[in-house]
Structure 1
Amino acid sequence: MTSETHLHSFFYPETVAVIGASATPGKVGHTIVTNMIGAGFHGTLLPVNPKGGEIEGLPVTTDIADLPRGLDLAVISVPPHFVVPAIEALGERGAKSAIVITAGFKEAGKDGHVLEQEIRALCEKYDMALLGPNCLGMMNAAHGVNASFGSGHPNPGSIAFFSQSGALCVAILDWALGANVGFSKFISLGNKAVLDEADMLYFLNKDEETKVILGYIENVEHGESFLKAAYATSLNKPVIMIKSGTTAAGAKAASSHTGAIAGSDQSYSAAFQQSGVIRVNDVASLFNLAQAFSCQPLPKGPNLAVVTNSGGPGILTADAADRSSLSMAALSQKTIQRLQEFLPSYAAFYNPVDIVGDANAARYRQTLDVVSEDPMVHSILVLLTPTASVEIDQTADAVIHMARKCGKPVFACFMGKTRVASARKKLMDAGIPCYAFPEPAVHSIEAMYDYYLWKNRSTPEFVQIERDVEQAREVVRAHIRRNQAEIVEFEAQQVLKAYGLPTPKTVLARSSDEAVAAADAMGYPVVLKIASPDISHKSDVGGVEINLWNAKEVLKSFKTMTARAQRMRRDAYLAGCLVQEMAPAGVQEVIIGFKRDEEFGPMLMFGLGGIYVEILKDISFKLAPLSRQDAFDIVREIKSYMLLKGLKGGQAVNFAALEHIIMAMSQMSLDLPEVWEAEFNPVLVNHERAMVADVRMTIRLQDC
């Protein structure tokens, strides 16, 4: 993590050198110089080029060694093979930070990757903050810094934006200039050799000029530091992000349901959710939310009031609210009576409040004053369609007047384009988000309310599960010594015991006589499962028989099952069969698993068994460690949760017992880092108890 002092020098430099400055218009080294001048930089700007002379009236320094010591920021735009010596020379001069604009590093292949590693090592040696390489640069509009080769200067504002894609930065900058959107900071991360998303989040969290933080990311290389930074920042101000590359294409083959289902996108969704990051899927939503968060207070409740001059858009808004976490506010009787005093008899007095198509600005103003005073209303959305009689600009004035005095979040949706253009600009300039259609407006309000709930939730409680870690680790170590990647059920049972997890009565029978004796002692019916360290998928060899009701059936099944397994898997060592008690009637089957994500570590999965996980993919995910609330939520986030809660008078399952098993798996994933995947499948749960009926674990031997 780069020091806070160096990041301050980076964003608020007093001395800036441009290494590779050029007198030729159109060259990157020339654009950086002119951008710094055009941004109104008031500090010392030092172009550096061996040719000397002047650039834009500034004297050119011919050698980095001649620069003043303790330089705040150097912007480097020279060919790749000159970058490393430039960084070393700057380090010798005590430079605090640098931006490497130049491309041709790890994105260009092996040789470029080696150069980038050298840059990182030099920055560590000289304690230098570095942005890039292969980036557009950085802008701080309020401080007159445009250390980039972008076109145009953003207006000062309260929104910070960082992106791994320089091309996206260029497009968004151009859009922002056209939409009059201002930025506090505008950062192109590039290859992230030193500075990354976590560094940006830590700094922007404390930056008084920044109210909202936006990010576009393609990957996170240091998941733990990102999660810590995102969580700490989200407690203070909203962080809104787009993550590209959302498919699991190219993921490594997995040996379990969890491994097959838990792809990259699920890990990022879980990371964002648990750290408070608000995720969007497109750039339009990114900036819709940015403008809403930057200029409106958070809704303190879910109740939305809608005032409209057209019934159709009002219904669309109500539909969108019904699909969200918001509710259409039930207006009080007092509010309805007050509306009835001045609205036409053919108006709709209930929410949405339809003041009909002939409404003028005065009717809007009076209605908004009444609705905004209702204590059951937490946020207000004003809809307008450009009818022949509506006073568009005056209605915008009425909305602004109401918003300034009501203290609640106010949003507008002025539908259309040409006739509403000036009113929409007036609203936006006054800090009232205005949308072309109702759905994105509702989405923005919902995101703000969800963020309010996240900020105001109770402090997460993490608990330690009682366990014998050494016993569990010895099972893992034994498999590593034998070079066995799979820990199958009859051996994994020892791990379950180490964590005190409930299991059905289970006995390893090495002969048919032992199997019958175990079944007799256990009581019928029973289940028989093949026991072999070399057979992880028992069903592939017909290695499971259920509902065995007597000794004769157990005897026959044991002999048939072991013979079949020996025939189908001649290489497998057969230890015998597990005799296990049958699950009681009325149990639900669920799956609890984890897969170790490359960036974020263990990711837990929960879902119902059978078609719910196989076909419907009705699954929820969380990253370890899980708090009590996380364990509570992961069960309730699946769509089929109501089946566990009990339908039509049915009994709810024992959620506390289920959550305990989930917490134990979370703890296990942290205790046993060599285990790459694990799965309890099925876990049997009813209203009385939950127990792990089968378990498998996978070790990634190449990491051991």
Structure 2
Amino acid sequence: MPGGLFAPRGIAVVGASRDPSKVGGAVLANIVSGGYGGAIYPVNPNATEIGGYAAYGSVADVPDPVDMAVIVVPARGAVDAVRQCAGRGIGSAVVISAGFRETGAAGAVIERELVAAARDGGVRILGPNCLGLIATRSSLNASFAPIMPAPGGISFLSQSGALGTAILDWARGEGIGLAHFVSLGNKADISEVDLIRMWSHDPDTRVVVAYLEAISHGRAFVDSVIGLRSHAPFIALTAGSSDAGAKAVSSHTGSLAGSRVAYEAAFRKAGAVPARTVQELFDLAEGFSRQPLPAGPGTVILTNAGGPAILATDACAAEGLTLASLEPSTVSALREVLPDAAAVYNPVDILGDAPASRFDAAARILVEDPGVRSLIVVLTPQAMTEALETAQTVASVAADSSVTTLAVFMGDQTVAEANTYLREHDVPTYAFPERAVATLAAMQRHALRIARPEAPVRHVEAETRVVREAIDHAREAGRTFITESSAARIAGAYGIRVPASGLAHDLSEARSLAASIGFPVVMKIASPDVLHKSDIGGIVFDIDSVDAVEDAYDSIMRKVMHRLPEATIWGVTLQEQLPPGREVIIGVNRDASFGPILMFGLGGIYVEVLKDVSFRMCPVTPDDAREMVDEIRSNALLRGARGEAPADIEAIVDVICRVSALAMEFEDITELDINPLIVGMRSTGAVAADIRIGIGG
């Protein structure tokens, strides 16, 4: 990323105008009014002077020093301007101009020409079709947003110019300072990955906040956020990633792993902080930018209002925040300074008539308690309330201690001045308890995440040649799936246990094969046209004799021919029937941007109905796998409910890690389901009873 993008020595404004109602005029005016101290060169072939600055006919005529061009001419002219930047040795260009791929096929052609011109000439492009950028350290507003924010610790990037202007207005209204603001536009060149990598070394950036509509280089994005997180948290709101936008897929995993799931799995992998709404994006930005991360669990609520304190307590329970158990010495100290009717346990209710001095005395005692790592002060305006003075007290306590402090000053006009004071003194304040608690919970989760050492991915010994041969054989046959027998060999090649099985082309072979495997056996239809066998009666269990083989064979053929008369039938698969155990599903669906997304849940026919599943982006570690098992709602069934023996959890973890390794090694695999994986009790292992693998063309 060229340094000239945020701290240029000189700027050429290509398409500068005397008319402030035009974009070229607004951009030039914003650069000047923002206080930028470098050289400014308006470029307009029809003018010799604009706004008191000498104007130049082309970029080639602009004198030194100049590191950046802001381009606001029509799309075709923008391509020529970038070529001139390359010839002039200008390394950065902000292309605000529209008329590129957002307009359709013709615009996409022009955008490709723009990118080619930039790459040939060594010019990095922000945009096109963007709002521009702001860098407060350089007093640079190279955008057509009229708002110049105060300096601060937030670097914000947005794929929506309109939302970007709202963010700028919000930041100014809330007294929140920004280090950088960047509108990405079409992301023809510079992307969120470039910016995150740069800000991971930027001393002005304390928090990176993003609004994203598409992430085109998913794995690079994850790596960039991982590189950032020890320096600054990454908070993001995503849009356009709904499950409705996912491609239609045939596997259980694919039908559950929509785009939203992929984003959530990628954010978890990267250690990003997801925001669910624009409001939450603002709340998180305020909390993370103003206060230190909690040093551990242990939240205390200090209030003058019982009802809101109960709401805050309920919200803590819902968000997984632990209320601190106050030390006996703390309780005694509180009793000495508070009225007899006050509640001196957590939450600490100092009563509705509390003046600022009572808040001050209680807060200073609470932050000295060794079990208190975060403080939420909840105030409602009552007859005796001193809102501004209490805000001053809270800000002073926060500045004097290392305890993470958030405020909830409820109301409007009565507490407006107090809320302004809190924000001016780096105490985030919220209108309602639930919003403060949700922010604090996100801060605590992030603190725990970055403090936890990275576990290594388990190495898996595998016979990769077996997998490659199976994939190549399927491709040669024109298939986009692996046959059941080949899928079993692939599983075995990666150390996943499979039952004894074989393919019988007719009834005679079925009898012989069943006898050689040993009763009881399971019989399943073998057909490229039958994806979910149980849906059409294509599977029979508990076959315990040669006569039962014949009955099962006839039943399966009759039902399949009735339901799918055009289906190609290869015969039936006979398989060793496994002893009873817990049935789980392990699957993979390959996302176009983020790669393989792994799923775990209870298996069998109900997986899509119950949707009790967890997801991770591959590769997964053993710790990731254990978390996946713990996350599902029905986890108690695996852990042993009401005296039942627990399932072999470590066997599940082992198979998850092996499937992850398989998906990472072979990009050809687009979908994979092991459903069910039969998990024995205690330490008896797990066996993949049914495996389906899809491959790309």
Q: TM-score normalized by structure 1?
A: 0.96
Q: Which one of the candidate residues 611, 614, 619 is aligned to 1:617?
A: 611
Matched, 1:135 2:134: no
Distance 1:439 1:534, change over 3 A: closer
Q: Which one of the candidate residues 593, 596, 599 is aligned to 2:590?
A: 596
In structure 2, the partner of 1:670 is 664
In structure 1, the partner of 2:636 is 642
In structure 2, the partner of 1:325 is 320
Matched, 1:180 2:158: no
Letter in 2 for 1:657: A
In structure 2, the partner of 1:370 is 365
Q: Please, which moves more after superposition, 557-566 or 296-305?
A: 557-566
- What secondary structure sits across from 2:589 in the alignment? strand
Distance 1:612 1:71, change over 3 A: farther
Query: Cα distance, 1:378 vs. partner?
Result: 1.1
Query: Cα distance, 1:263 vs. partner?
Result: 0.7
In structure 2, the partner of 1:626 is 620
- What secondary structure sits across from 2:474 in the alignment? helix
In structure 1, the partner of 2:686 is 690
In structure 2, the partner of 1:170 is 165
Q: Please, which moves more after superposition, 298-307 or 400-409?
A: 400-409
Query: Cα distance, 1:610 vs. partner?
Result: 4.4
Q: Which one of the candidate residues 498, 502, 526 is aligned to 2:497?
A: 502
Letter in 1 for 2:225: A
Q: Which runs of 4+ in 1 moved over 6 A?
A: none
**Contact 2:10–2:64 under 8 Å retained in 1:** no
Query: Cα distance, 1:568 vs. partner?
Result: 5.7
Q: Please, which moves more after superposition, 186-195 or 254-263?
A: 254-263
In structure 1, the partner of 2:402 is 407
Query: Cα distance, 1:535 vs. partner?
Result: 3.5
Query: Cα distance, 1:91 vs. partner?
Result: 0.6
Q: Please, which moves more after superposition, 405-414 or 442-451?
A: 405-414
In 1, Cα distance between the equivalents of 2:75 and 2:579? 69
Counting only pairs closer than 5 Å after superposition, residues 332-481 of structure 1 correspond to structure 2 as 332-481=327-476
Residues 457-495 of structure 1 deviation map (CA, whole Å, 9 limit, x = unaligned): 112311221111111111111111111122232331121
Matched, 1:493 2:488: yes
Query: Cα distance, 1:156 vs. partner?
Result: 1.0
- What secondary structure sits across from 1:615 in the alignment? helix
In structure 1, the partner of 2:15 is 20
Query: Cα distance, 1:303 vs. partner?
Result: 1.1
In 1, Cα distance between the equivalents of 2:566 and 2:314? 61
Query: Cα distance, 1:601 vs. partner?
Result: 0.9
Residues 133-175 of structure 1 deviation map (CA, whole Å, 9 limit, x = unaligned): 0000000122111111111211111111110001111222222
- What secondary structure sits across from 2:337 in the alignment? coil
Distance 1:425 1:543, change over 3 A: same
In structure 1, the partner of 2:82 is 87
Q: Please, which moves more after superposition, 10-19 or 540-549?
A: 540-549
In 2, Cα distance between the equivalents of 1:285 and 1:536? 42
In 2, Cα distance between the equivalents of 1:170 and 1:616? 42
In 1, Cα distance between the equivalents of 2:564 and 2:308? 66
In 2, Cα distance between the equivalents of 1:563 and 1:320? 57
Query: Cα distance, 1:325 vs. partner?
Result: 2.1
Residues 84-140 of structure 1 deviation map (CA, whole Å, 9 limit, x = unaligned): 111111111111100000111011011111111111112211221110000000001
Query: Cα distance, 1:674 vs. partner?
Result: 1.7
In 2, Cα distance between the equivalents of 1:643 and 1:567? 38
**Contact 2:206–2:231 under 8 Å retained in 1:** no
**Contact 1:486–1:534 under 8 Å retained in 2:** no
- What secondary structure sits across from 1:201 in the alignment? helix
Query: Cα distance, 1:517 vs. partner?
Result: 4.1
Letter in 1 for 2:297: P
In structure 2, the partner of 1:103 is 98
Distance 1:385 1:568, change over 3 A: closer
Residues 487-536 of structure 1 deviation map (CA, whole Å, 9 limit, x = unaligned): 23233112112112111232333443443444445443321112234543
In 1, Cα distance between the equivalents of 2:158 and 2:215? 12
**Contact 2:213–2:241 under 8 Å retained in 1:** no
In 2, Cα distance between the equivalents of 1:40 and 1:67? 21
- What secondary structure sits across from 1:208 in the alignment? coil
Distance 1:475 1:295, change over 3 A: same
- What secondary structure sits across from 2:319 in the alignment? coil
In 1, Cα distance between the equivalents of 2:129 and 2:297? 44
How many pairs are equivalent?
Answer: 695
In structure 2, the partner of 1:538 is 533
In 1, Cα distance between the equivalents of 2:98 and 2:588? 38
Query: Cα distance, 1:213 vs. partner?
Result: 0.5
Q: Please, which moves more after superposition, 537-546 or 112-121?
A: 537-546
Q: Please, which moves more after superposition, 491-500 or 447-456?
A: 491-500
Residues 583-617 of structure 1 deviation map (CA, whole Å, 9 limit, x = unaligned): 323x1111111111011111111111247522221
Query: Cα distance, 1:392 vs. partner?
Result: 1.6
In structure 1, the partner of 2:220 is 225
In 2, Cα distance between the equivalents of 1:84 and 1:342? 72
- What secondary structure sits across from 2:125 in the alignment? strand
Counting only pairs closer than 5 Å after superposition, residues 245-264 of structure 1 correspond to structure 2 as 245-264=240-259
In 2, Cα distance between the equivalents of 1:141 and 1:38? 13
Query: Cα distance, 1:582 vs. partner?
Result: 2.2
Matched, 1:159 2:154: yes
Give the unaligned 5+ runs of structure 1: none
Residues 50-95 of structure 1 deviation map (CA, whole Å, 9 limit, x = unaligned): 0122111001011222123673110000011111111111111111
Give the unaligned 5+ runs of structure 2: none
- What secondary structure sits across from 2:414 in the alignment? coil
Q: Please, which moves more after superposition, 125-134 or 398-407?
A: 398-407
In structure 2, the partner of 1:57 is 52
Matched, 1:68 2:71: no
Residues 39-60 of structure 1 deviation map (CA, whole Å, 9 limit, x = unaligned): 1111100000001221110010
**Contact 1:70–1:96 under 8 Å retained in 2:** no
Q: Which one of the candidate residues 654, 673, 676 is aligned to 2:648?
A: 654
Residues 229-248 of structure 1 deviation map (CA, whole Å, 9 limit, x = unaligned): 11111232100000012422
- What secondary structure sits across from 2:462 in the alignment? coil
**Contact 1:91–1:128 under 8 Å retained in 2:** yes
**Contact 1:302–1:325 under 8 Å retained in 2:** no
- What secondary structure sits across from 1:590 in the alignment? strand
**Contact 1:304–1:379 under 8 Å retained in 2:** yes
Query: How many percent of aligned residue pairs carry the same amino acid?
Result: 40
Q: Which one of the candidate residues 525, 547, 551 is aligned to 2:546?
A: 551
In 2, Cα distance between the equivalents of 1:353 and 1:532? 67
**Contact 1:526–1:548 under 8 Å retained in 2:** yes
In structure 1, the partner of 2:283 is 288
Distance 1:491 1:562, change over 3 A: farther
**Contact 1:488–1:536 under 8 Å retained in 2:** no
Matched, 1:31 2:26: yes
Query: Cα distance, 1:540 vs. partner?
Result: 4.9
Q: Please, which moves more after superposition, 671-680 or 305-314?
A: 671-680
